[in-house]
Chains A and B, each alone.
Chain A
Amino acid sequence: DVKVTQSSRYLVKRTGEKVFLECVQDMDHENMFWYRQDPGLGLRLIYFSYDVKMKEKGDIPEGYSVSREKKERFSLILESASTNQTSMYLCASSLPLGQGNGYTFGSGTRLTVV
């Protein structure tokens, strides 16, 4: 069964900490994405990557960075966590669009910053 695995389902961190959210896919997908989801705001794209070592800013990249050193792994980094980054974070991966597969999502990480 193909999978996108996010390392933590729930995470509690303190303000100012550096936080790493990890996402691994086993489908050999080129594209990987990080979204955050907040009530009433839908899905908002933070960063995405089309290939190893490539990254592109999404709609709300401020306060975040990413790393993609290997094709299967896409990490989201909160450089200095703040309470307004408390959210559900969703990782997704896909083949290049045009192949009719859409995204496969991970199970999500609910991050609370205190």
Chain B
Amino acid sequence: ELKVEQNPLFLSMQEGKNYTIYCNYSTTSDRLYWYRQDPGKSLESLFVLLSNGAVKQEGRLMASLDTKARLSTLHITAAVHDLSATYFCAVEPSKGNEKLTFGTGTRLTIIP
């Protein structure tokens, strides 16, 4: 059974600082997705990582995938308040069922 662990679960950081959210998973996969959820809202797609070594960047966020280590990271550079949200990673199984397996989410709060 595919298991996905995110850490930390909660992250409070000051504006202007850098930090990284980690997403570890338990079985082989080449595809991983990051989503953002604002309070009271639904999930929106942030990044799609489709192969080992994939790196995607948008603004102050950068995501990477290491399929050998079964690890993805979401790096935040010089955080600003509007990045406050919950971030989820989701892993696609290499074969078999059609379901993504989601991490538990990381609630990020940026403090002025």
Contacts and interface: CB of A to CB of B under 8 A. Distances in A.
A90 interface: yes
A102 B93 contact: no
A91 to B, nearest CB: 9
Interface of B: 31, 33, 35, 40-45, 48, 50, 88, 90, 92-93, 98-100, 102-105
A97 B42 contact: no
Given A43-B88, A97-B92, A97-B93, A102 B100 contact: yes
B41 A31 contact: no
Contacts of A98: 92
A93 to B, nearest CB: 11
A50 interface: yes
A105 B93 CA distance: 19
Chain A interface residue bracket vs B: 20 to 34
Contacts of A97: 31, 92-93, 98-100
Contacts of B92: 97-98, 102
25 contacts: A42-B102, A42-B103, A42-B104, A42-B105, A43-B102, A45-B99, A50-B98, A90-B42, A92-B43, A96-B98, A97-B92, A97-B93, A97-B98, A97-B99, A98-B92, A100-B31, A102-B100, A103-B43, A103-B45, A103-B90, A103-B100, A104-B45, A105-B35, A105-B44, A107-B42
Nearest to B50: A100
Given A43-B88, A50-B98, A100-B31, A108 B42 contact: yes
A108 B41 contact: yes
A101 interface: yes
Interface in A78-114: 90, 92, 94, 96-98, 100-108, 110
A98 B31 CA distance: 8
Contact of B48 (A45, A101, A105): A101
Nearest to A4: B42
Most chain B C-beta atoms within 10 Å of own C-beta, residue among A50, A96, A100, A106? A100
Contacts of A42: 102-105
Contacts of A101: 48
Given A97-B92, A100-B50, 4 more contacts: A33-B99, A94-B98, A105-B44, A108-B41
